[in-house]
């Protein structure tokens, strides 16, 4: 059962006047709308969603990240509501899927966006509200480079600690360790051209 987003939005706004939220519509066939939450009110909103008996979103099922090098693209996927101008530079987005096990409702999709992709990559950790976020936030830190402020143990979880890159970012360049491919084509053919000279006899 998909939650009634406008009602939840109104309830959160009434209880937390300082919180900044926006209703993002999804024009795709999935039509799964989401709530864009300002980073400074994220923890308070999560706390409210969990502890309000009528909402009781007690289960954080999934946390994932999205890299938006071009912010305009993010707005074609999820149209921003009025009053939320698209960011000038790219940003990293963290997506939370909340469920209510007691009301059998969900998923409620929350999004939070960093200010940019380089220096201001901070998002408050929701581990204090949902313990299940701990490893998933570590994974997003590892693969996207989002720094979760207040996380109890923010270390890389999949890659080794000496690793410097964030592989799931769109501009990640994998190590150039191409080797023989019997039938190269497209991007692999371009790599093959760089790595192996063509024979002249054929």
Partner 1 sequence: MAIDPKLAEDLKSQGVHVTSFEGLINWGRSSSLWPLQFGLACCAIEMIAATMAKYDMARFGAEVFRPSPRQADLMIVAGTVTKKMAPQVVRLYNQMAEPKYVIAMGACAISGGPFKDGYNVLKGIDRFIPVDVSIPGCPPRPEALLHGLITLREKIAKEKLIGTTRARHADPNGPGDLPVPEFGPHDLEPTFNPDVWNPPSIAREASES
How many residues bind partner 1 (CB under 8 A)? The answer is 26
Q: CB count, 10 Å around CB of 130? A: 23
Contact with partner 1 (CB under 8 A): which of 77, 102, 120, 196? 196
Contact (Cβ atoms closer than 8 angstroms) between residue 178 and residue 195: yes
Q: Which residues pair with 66 in a beta bridge?
A: 93
Contact with partner 1 (CB under 8 A): which of 27, 51, 158, 170? 158
**Least separation in angstroms between CB 151 and partner 1:** 21
Pairing of strands 34-37, 59-68: unpaired
The two three-digit tokens of residue 121, written as one number: 């990559």
Of 103 and 169, the one with the shorter C-beta distance to partner 1 is 169
Contact (Cβ atoms closer than 8 angstroms) between residue 150 and residue 125: yes
Does an H or E element contain 64, and which? Answer: strand 59-68
**Least separation in angstroms between CB 195 and partner 1:** 8
Contact with partner 1 (CB under 8 A): which of 33, 161, 169, 186? 161
Contact with partner 1 (CB under 8 A): which of 159, 169, 170, 171? 159
Of 149 and 194, the one with the shorter C-beta distance to partner 1 is 194
135 binds partner 1 (CB under 8 A): no
**Least separation in angstroms between CB 189 and partner 1:** 7
186 binds partner 1 (CB under 8 A): no
Nearest to 103 by CA among 53, 167, 65: 53
**Least separation in angstroms between CB 174 and partner 1:** 4
Residue 178 φ/ψ, nearest 5 degrees: -65, 145
∠ CA 64-81-46, rounded to 5°: 45
Of 18 and 198, the one with the shorter C-beta distance to partner 1 is 198
169 binds partner 1 (CB under 8 A): no
Q: CB count, 10 Å around CB of 161? A: 7
Interface with partner 1 by CB under 8 A: which residues? 158-165, 167, 172, 174-175, 177, 179-180, 184, 189, 192-193, 196-202
């Amino acid at each position: 059962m998909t939650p009634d987003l406008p009602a939840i939005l109104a309830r959160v706004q009434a209880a937390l006047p300082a919180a900044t939220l926006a209703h993002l519509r999804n024009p795709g066939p999935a039509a799964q709308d989401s709530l864009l939450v300002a980073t400074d009110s994220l923890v308070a909103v999560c706390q409210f969603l969990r502890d309000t008996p009528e909402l009781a979103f007690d289960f954080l099922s999934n946390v994932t990240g999205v890299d938006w090098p071009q912010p305009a693209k993010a707005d074609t996927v999820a149209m921003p509501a009025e009053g939320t101008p698209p960011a000038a530079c790219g940003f990293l987005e963290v997506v939370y899927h909340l469920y209510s096990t007691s009301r059998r409702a969900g998923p409620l999709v929350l999004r939070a966006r960093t200010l940019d992709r380089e220096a201001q990559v901070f998002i408050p950790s929701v581990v204090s509200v949902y313990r299940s976020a701990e490893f998933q936030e570590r994974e997003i830190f590892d693969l996207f480079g989002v720094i979760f402020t207040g996380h109890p143990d923010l270390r890389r979880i999949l890659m080794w600690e000496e690793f410097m890159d964030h592989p799931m970012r769109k501009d990640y360049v994998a190590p150039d360790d191409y080797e023989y491919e019997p039938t190269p084509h497209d991007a692999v053919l371009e790599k093959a051209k760089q790595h192996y000279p063509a024979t002249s006899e054929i």
